[in-house]
Copies of this chain bind each other. A is one copy, B any other.
């Protein structure tokens, strides 16, 4: 069975940024694992914190519920909540080896995670570095010797909120027209961030229009990614 791993800094990132890719591959039979390193409970839950008497635990519970419902809408096979804290996120060696274990167990065909830079968000690029570090470590024969090591799965970086400020460039466009309704349904699970629903719907339309322009195909909804590693192919087209 084909598999993929999504490494999401906060529990909603996988929806806005990779919901289309997740739904598309899930619909094609892939088992997609989503690792939510934190809930985004401190830094990305403004609306919840405006409710009287809100507590950190209640924010986490709400955010987990939202993410689980979104994951169901997208067809995610396994969603994990590691509760490492956010703003700043707590990425220690124990968490690193835990992600190595996930990579080795799942053996993903590809990995999705954040952009390399983001002046608006300190957790996102830290997670990118962490997800890449875990990939390298999972390839080391001396880490838990005897376990099969990881191969060389591509890592795709999903779209940050303000792409040009993050030195992020779309290198791969994905036609997500066949699953757009699922992505929108997942987006609508994010009750706490309603102001982003239309923003990311328009992102889908713009990336769709650009995908059409770059392919001469009638694509309407798109998601864009940056590659970390070169692409190895048997033919150029």
Contact call A219/B232, Cβ cutoff below 8 A = yes
Least Cβ–Cβ distance between A169 and chain B, in angstroms:
5
Contact call A140/B214, Cβ cutoff below 8 A = no
5 interchain residue pairs of minimum CB distance: A42-B142, A151-B216, A215-B232, A43-B140, A49-B141
Pick from B4, B142, B152, B168: contact of A49, CB below 8 A: B142
Contact string, A140-170, partner B, CB cutoff 8 A, digits 1/0?
Answer: 1111010001011110100001111100111
Interface residues of A (CB under 8 A from B): 2, 4, 21, 24-25, 28, 41-43, 45-46, 49-50, 54, 56, 59, 86-88, 93, 96, 109-110, 112, 119-122, 132-133, 136-137, 139-143, 145, 149, 151-154, 156, 161-165, 168-175, 198-199, 202-203, 205-206, 209-211, 213-217, 219, 224-225, 227-237
Chain B residues with Cβ below 8 Å from A122 are 132-133, 136-137
Number of copies: 6
The residue in chain B whose Cβ has the minimal distance to the Cβ of A46 is: B141
Pick from B24, B165, B169, B211: contact of A232, CB below 8 A: B211
Least Cβ–Cβ distance between A18 and chain B, in angstroms:
10
Contact call B164/A229, Cβ cutoff below 8 A = no
Chain B residues with Cβ below 8 Å from A152 are 213-216
Least Cβ–Cβ distance between A134 and chain B, in angstroms:
9
Pick from B43, B154, B164, B234: contact of A175, CB below 8 A: B234
